[in-house]
A and B are shown apart, each in its own frame.
Chain A
Amino acid sequence: MNWGEAARILALGLPNTVVITLGAFAIGLVLGLPLALARLSRWSALNGPATIFIEIVRGIPPLAWIFVTFYGVGKVVGRLDPVFTAIASLGFVAIAYMAEIYRAALQSVSPGQLAAGRAIGLGDGSVLVHILLPQAAVLAIPSAATYCIGLLKESALASVIGAGEITYRAMLLTDRTLHGLDVFAIAAVLYVALSVPLAIFARWAGRRFGAHFRRRTA
């Protein structure tokens, strides 16, 4: 097997892997926040459905969501693009996970911050926007980054519906060359090449934005 040629073929899948990962993550990043707020709401008309949604969506394997979207939704609206399907279904799952990450972050902001915000006469909306969310966002960085790296690997599931990302190409190449070990070793290197910069970026962001937060040790 020609290693350079194999690497070139697999690398063609990089853009789709990146697009699926970042697309799904962006959906979770944006829509997870309102869901987290609903989950934390004191009104059961909001937090009840939010809790049920989160538990059901998280409880079903992402692979199942991909199939349900591709074959189920596809049956109704016509054949779906595999990459689009992967983004939509993984993004749907990401909403539930990101909501839980936001919720945990919001709950780990010191309760004194809420009290102090209220004590200076801010309404709860202002307290949320100006005091709780900026701090929760920083607290959420490590978990969100971990989840994003998880998504990167879950994007491989899109191979089952033929989205031409790294794993799909690795499977095709394996069929053709019968050098599965080598092909997937190259695929592994590509995934690590994507996840390591992500981890470095997350660590940098955590430091950059968390610097003035860290508690002075008495």
Chain B
Amino acid sequence: MAQPARGDGLDEAFDRALPACADQDPRATLPSRDGTSSEVPCLRVEGLTKRYGPSVVLDGVTLNVAKGEVLAVIGPSGSGKSTLLRCLNYLELPEAGRVYLNGELVGQDQDPGGEMRLWRAGQFAPLRRQIGMVFQQFNLFPHLRVDENIMLGQIKALGRSRKEAYDRTARLLASVGLEHKIHARPIELSGGEQQRVAIARALALDPQAMLFDEPTSALDPEIRREVLNVMQRLAEQGMTMIVVSHELRFAERVSNRVLFMAQGRVQEEGPPAQVLRNPVNSRTRQFIEALET
């Protein structure tokens, strides 16, 4: 899966922007491709359940994501993929289940009685800054320039100085090929550029894992490439990623594992080649055939 050398210097820029994970090949150090090794997973979810009124959106989802692993989550709309991501950083509050970050229970306190004891609303912020999130609609802050978008969290959430935050912003923008847009307004950017800024904004907080919620679904087909390239390089740098997407080719090429969800449950998971080429589950097969025609 080695990438041909790119002549644009973006890879080097990426290495400089992400020194923490630039020195290791994720796949060499990855203990197991299916996240079931005995090593403490970066993210672990146990029995996650979420209801909206009578409808069950997540029905006891359990999964592990190893450090440096890229997990692709596919499935029909309404299957709970986005809700799963939003429960991982508690943008949505689950009714039951647990989330572990590097082996540590987060978002709730251990309760011997088995009752779920969620943190108070004000306590989630330090957790959320450890998990980067990229949205389908980009959600850049329209009243702020690109640099201000990327600096805001660094200054207000991490307490970095303006100078420090700005330098980091410049490096990150270079790594996504947008250093010339540093003073632009979001509205002046194309969708693909906005999404790359959104990725830089999330990376600026040095997250332990990145969640991508259909990052290319709102983009024209020819623009998707530029966002997927950034994501692929990020994966190659060893970032732990969960990617909800309909990009089956991306899933096949970049992910270590594919998980198929339907009706709020994990229906099937395994190596990309198996889930995407020879799915065992008939629903998976149906879904993939529908996407490919």
Measured in the bound complex, the distance between the Cα atoms of B135 and A138 in whole Å is 24
A121 touches B121 (CB 8 A): no
A120 touches B202 (CB 8 A): yes
B157 touches A118 (CB 8 A): no
B142 touches A116 (CB 8 A): no
Residue B124 lies at the interface, judged by CB distance under 8 Å to chain A? yes
Which of B128, B143, B202 sits near A134, CB closer than 8 Å? B143
List chain B residues, Cβ under 8 A from A120. Answer: 128-129, 152-153, 157, 201-202, 204-205
Residue B185 lies at the interface, judged by CB distance under 8 Å to chain A? yes
Residue B105 lies at the interface, judged by CB distance under 8 Å to chain A? no
Nearest to B91 among chain A residues (CB) is A115
List chain B residues, Cβ under 8 A from A131. Answer: 141, 152
Residue B241 lies at the interface, judged by CB distance under 8 Å to chain A? no
Residue A122 lies at the interface, judged by CB distance under 8 Å to chain B? yes
Residue A110 lies at the interface, judged by CB distance under 8 Å to chain B? yes
B153 touches A123 (CB 8 A): no
Chain B 130-147: CB-based contact to A (< 8 A → 1; otherwise 0): 111101010111110000
Given contacts A120-B202, A121-B205, whether A212 and B142 have CB atoms under 8 Å apart is yes
Measured in the bound complex, the distance between the Cα atoms of B156 and A130 in whole Å is 10
Residue B106 lies at the interface, judged by CB distance under 8 Å to chain A? no
Measured in the bound complex, the distance between the Cα atoms of B104 and A166 in whole Å is 70
Measured in the bound complex, the distance between the Cα atoms of B148 and A117 in whole Å is 13
Chain A 122-142: CB-based contact to B (< 8 A → 1; otherwise 0): 111010001100110010000
Which of A112, A126, A214 sits near B187, CB closer than 8 Å? A214
List chain B residues, Cβ under 8 A from A134. Answer: 143
Given contacts A121-B153, A122-B156, A213-B187, whether A116 and B129 have CB atoms under 8 Å apart is no
List chain A residues, Cβ under 8 A from B89. Answer: 119
List chain B residues, Cβ under 8 A from A176. Answer: none
Residue B112 lies at the interface, judged by CB distance under 8 Å to chain A? no
Measured in the bound complex, the distance between the Cα atoms of B122 and A135 in whole Å is 22
B135 touches A116 (CB 8 A): yes
List chain A residues, Cβ under 8 A from B30. Answer: none
**Which secondary structure characterizes the binding site on chain A?**
helix
A135 touches B142 (CB 8 A): yes
Measured in the bound complex, the distance between the Cα atoms of B111 and A43 in whole Å is 25
A146: min CB distance to chain B, Å = 22
Given contacts A115-B91, A212-B143, whether A121 and B125 have CB atoms under 8 Å apart is yes
B117: min CB distance to chain A, Å = 18
Nearest to B131 among chain A residues (CB) is A119
Residue A216 lies at the interface, judged by CB distance under 8 Å to chain B? yes
Residue A113 lies at the interface, judged by CB distance under 8 Å to chain B? yes
Nearest to B123 among chain A residues (CB) is A123
List chain A residues, Cβ under 8 A from B130. Answer: 121
Given contacts A116-B141, A213-B187, whether A122 and B125 have CB atoms under 8 Å apart is yes
Chain A 187-218: CB-based contact to B (< 8 A → 1; otherwise 0): 00000000000000000000000001111100
A110 touches B139 (CB 8 A): yes
B121 touches A124 (CB 8 A): yes
Which has the most chain A C-beta neighbours within 10 Å: B126, B131, B152?
B152
A130: min CB distance to chain B, Å = 6
A118 touches B187 (CB 8 A): no
A138 touches B143 (CB 8 A): yes
Residue B158 lies at the interface, judged by CB distance under 8 Å to chain A? yes
Nearest to A218 among chain B residues (CB) is B191
Nearest to A115 among chain B residues (CB) is B91
Which of B86, B129, B140, B185 sits near A121, CB closer than 8 Å? B129
Given contacts A112-B135, A216-B187, whether A118 and B141 have CB atoms under 8 Å apart is no
A118 touches B139 (CB 8 A): no
Cβ-closest 5 pairs across A and B: A121-B129, A120-B153, A121-B157, A116-B139, A112-B139
B: which residues have CB within 8 A of A?
Answer: 86, 89, 91, 121-122, 124-126, 128-133, 135, 137, 139-143, 152-153, 156-158, 185-188, 198, 201-202, 204-205
8 new A-B pairs (CB below 8 Å) besides A130-B152, A131-B152?
A112-B135, A116-B140, A118-B124, A119-B128, A122-B157, A126-B157, A131-B141, A135-B141
Give 17 A-B contacts (CB < 8 Å), ordered by A residue: A112-B135, A115-B91, A116-B141, A119-B89, A119-B91, A119-B135, A119-B202, A120-B201, A121-B129, A122-B157, A123-B122, A131-B152, A138-B143, A212-B185, A212-B186, A213-B142, A213-B143
